[in-house]
């Protein structure tokens, strides 16, 4: 009996160690080569700030103004050699939220197919997240159409990324992942639209990780141009407020190299290349731009906030704010005499479904108690989906960081794939003037529109929800 007892204890120890390794190792493993890129600053004399903006008019009706996907469609329309689009949510699901919705999925699909037919030699590549096939549980007709038209469709291999929810993923990898998935053969409701999916789709969804990038790169007039944005070509997201930055030159080549890395570990064909013909670099420019991805986005944000001094102004417009290091940096900046203003989504709407306000209401409580100015986006079914950090310095310089990354652990600490653009230079540069106008319009409700409301409108003083939000952020047991 003692021998049997020793054997059982040894077996349990081995099982626990194996399970622990399965949970912890994938959460800290190295990222594939080419990720966590911090590009050099390159001249950006033609950098263009873009925004989709939704507000309420004097009658309380929703008014939607859009620029971002008009720009993306124009990039595709003008391409002669290369188009690379890396887009997270790319599906026609329109939810149950307030109409109308712009059919962004179909517009982008049709534009890619049309341009590929017009220019058969064009190399057109779409990189997207498996969420758009519900992790293999649904066939996506628009993706099939793109493949049939000669567009290279690459579904990101998320297993190569770190696990942001290790308590679940440690079980999923050995027990569920080996079974694969079957399209259009399930009995569970589709979380993103019509039809049914397998239980395995839901179990894969619980890993809570993604290729969250939103980038479009294409050649035009003999040079490469890149659009880095927070916007998704997703019908139900078409009324969201979003931001983007369009730029060309060497920084666009850096963005292309970052996409080549995703292609390499996701089974894509040869890396995309574009020869701009050796155009001379611009040395004098009012602004310079760098591409940052994954962990490098966090580094850039912490540098911008940490480098702000007394008299400087920091404006943060963000869909999700919860990362503890960023929050501490904002609080420290306020203590140094930096004017810190934070405009947040109230986290109450998600495609017709009601949310519980986490994590923004809990973060806002902490900021306001420390004297930071906080306002809420006055949303009506749509979301304040922008991710923007603007610094204006008394030394007459400005910095702008924007793109796909929310300021949460999952987005900033190397779990999701993310791409941001960091613009630095003179506040008189057109992109900075447009970004400043965007922020001030939202903050002050300019132009006869209502975009934001005061902190008390969505105030939440529950200490229990603060604790819950902290636990969820630390463990990854959350969608943000």
For residue range 118-143, list pLDDT tens digits in order: 999 999 999 999 999 999 999 999 99
Measured in whole angstroms, how far is the alpha carbon of residue 159 from the centre of its chain?
Answer: 19
How much is the average pLDDT of 50-66?
92
Tell whether the model's pLDDT for residue 8 goes beyond 60: no
* Structure confidence at residue 9 (pLDDT): 60
Question: Can you list the alpha helix ranges (DSSP code H) found in 89-154?
Answer: 104-118, 141-148
Tell whether the model's pLDDT for residue 17 goes beyond 60: no
Tell whether the model's pLDDT for residue 114 goes beyond 60: yes
* Structure confidence at residue 28 (pLDDT): 81
pLDDT in tens, 439-462: 999 999 999 999 999 999 999 999
The rounded distance, in Å, linking the Cα atoms of 25 and 39 is 28
Domains of the chain: 46-265 (3.30.870.10), 287-475 (3.30.870.10)
Tell whether the model's pLDDT for residue 295 goes beyond 90: yes
Whether 175 and 156 have beta carbons less than 8 Å apart is answered as: no
Burial-class residue 338 by CB neighbours within 10 Å (0-12, 13-18, 19+).
buried
The rounded distance, in Å, linking the Cα atoms of 159 and 178 is 12
* Structure confidence at residue 274 (pLDDT): 85
Going by pLDDT thresholds of 50, 70 and 90, the confidence category of residue 15 is: very low
* Measured CA angle at 103 (ends 144, 89), to 5 deg: 60
Q: Mean pLDDT score of the chain, rounded to an integer?
A: 92
Largest separation between any pair of C-alpha atoms in the chain: 83
* Structure confidence at residue 371 (pLDDT): 95
Q: Please state the pTM of the whole predicted model.
A: 0.93
Query: 287-293 and 452-454 as β-strands: parallel, antiparallel, unpaired?
Result: unpaired
* Structure confidence at residue 356 (pLDDT): 87
How much is the average pLDDT of 226-237?
96
Going by pLDDT thresholds of 50, 70 and 90, the confidence category of residue 202 is: very high
* Structure confidence at residue 400 (pLDDT): 98
* Structure confidence at residue 122 (pLDDT): 97
DSSP for 271-333? PP------PPPP---SEEEEEEETHHHHHHHHHHHHT--TT-EEEEEES-B--HHHHHHHHHH
Whether 187 and 197 have beta carbons less than 8 Å apart is answered as: no
pLDDT in tens, 242-274: 999 999 999 999 999 999 999 999 998 888 888
Going by pLDDT thresholds of 50, 70 and 90, the confidence category of residue 392 is: very high
**Which residue did the predictor score with more confidence, 62 or 215?**
215
Q: Considering only 150-164, 293-307, 344-358, which range has the smallest mean pLDDT? A: 344-358
Element (H, E) at 466: helix 463-475
Question: Can you list the alpha helix ranges (DSSP code H) found in 307-384?
Answer: 324-335, 360-369
4: number of Cβ within 10 Å: 8
pLDDT in tens, 296-341: 999 999 999 999 999 999 999 999 999 999 999 999 999 999 999 9
* Structure confidence at residue 284 (pLDDT): 86
Going by pLDDT thresholds of 50, 70 and 90, the confidence category of residue 277 is: low
Q: Helix/strand/coil (H, E, C) string of 13-79? A: HHHHHHHHHHHHHHHHCCCCCCCCCECCCEECCCCEEEEEEEEECCCCCEEEECCHHHHHHHHHHHC
The rounded distance, in Å, linking the Cα atoms of 2 and 456 is 65
- Asked if residue 326 has a cis previous peptide bond (ω within 30° of 0), the answer is no
Measured in whole angstroms, how far is the alpha carbon of residue 438 from the centre of its chain?
Answer: 19
* Structure confidence at residue 235 (pLDDT): 93
Burial-class residue 302 by CB neighbours within 10 Å (0-12, 13-18, 19+).
middle
The tokens describing 270, both together, are 């040869």
């Amino acid at each position: 009996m003692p021998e049997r007892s020793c054997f059982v204890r040894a077996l349990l120890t081995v099982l626990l160690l194996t399970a622990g390794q399965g949970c912890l190792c994938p959460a800290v493993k190295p990222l594939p080569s080419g990720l966590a890129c911090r590009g050099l600053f390159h001249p950006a004399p033609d950098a263009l700030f873009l925004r989709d903006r939704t507000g309420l008019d004097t009658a309380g009706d929703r008014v939607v103004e859009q620029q971002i996907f008009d720009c993306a469609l124009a990039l595709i329309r003008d391409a002669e050699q290369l188009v690379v689009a890396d887009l997270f949510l790319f599906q026609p699901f329109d939810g149950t939220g307030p109409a109308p919705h712009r059919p962004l999925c179909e517009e982008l699909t049709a534009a890619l197919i049309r341009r590929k037919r017009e220019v058969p030699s064009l190399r057109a590549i779409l990189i997207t997240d498996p969420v758009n096939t519900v992790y293999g549980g649904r066939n996506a007709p628009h993706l099939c159409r793109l493949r049939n038209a000669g567009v290279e469709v690459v579904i990101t291999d998320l297993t190569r990324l770190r696990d942001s929810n290790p308590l679940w993923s440690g079980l999923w990898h050995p027990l569920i992942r080996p079974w694969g998935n079957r399209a259009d053969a399930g009995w569970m409701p589709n979380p993103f639209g019509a039809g049914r999916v397998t239980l395995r789709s839901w179990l894969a969804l619980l890993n809570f990780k993604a290729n969250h990038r939103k980038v479009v790169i294409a050649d035009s007039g003999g040079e490469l141009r890149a659009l880095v944005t927070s916007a998704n070509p997703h019908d139900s997201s078409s009324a969201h407020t979003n931001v983007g930055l369009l730029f060309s030159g060497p920084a666009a080549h850096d963005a292309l190299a970052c996409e080549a890395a995703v292609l390499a570990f996701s089974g894509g064909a040869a890396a995309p290349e574009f020869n701009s013909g050796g155009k001379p670099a611009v040395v004098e420019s009012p602004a310079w731009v760098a591409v940052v991805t994954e962990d490098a986005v966090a580094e850039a944000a912490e540098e911008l906030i940490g480098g702000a001094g007394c008299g400087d102004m920091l404006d943060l417009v963000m869909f999700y704010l919860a990362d503890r290091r960023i929050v501490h940096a904002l609080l420290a900046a306020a203590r140094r005499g930096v004017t810190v203003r934070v405009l947040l989504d109230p986290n109450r709407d998600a495609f017709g479904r009601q949310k519980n306000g986490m994590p923004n209401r809990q973060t806002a409580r902490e900021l306001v108690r420390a004297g930071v100015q906080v306002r809420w986006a006055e949303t009506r079914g749509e979301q304040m989906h922008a991710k923007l950090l603007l610094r204006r310095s008394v030394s007459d310089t400005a910095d702008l960081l924007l793109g796909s990354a929310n300021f949460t652990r999952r987005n900033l600490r190397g779990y999701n794939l993310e791409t941001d653009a960091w613009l630095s230079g003179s506040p008189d540069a057109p992109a900075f003037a447009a970004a400043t106008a965007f922020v001030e319009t939202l903050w002050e409700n300019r132009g006869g529109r209502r975009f934001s409301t005061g902190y008390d409108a969505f105030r939440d003083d529950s200490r229990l929800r603060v604790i819950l939000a902290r636990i969820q952020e630390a463990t990854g047991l959350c969608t943000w």
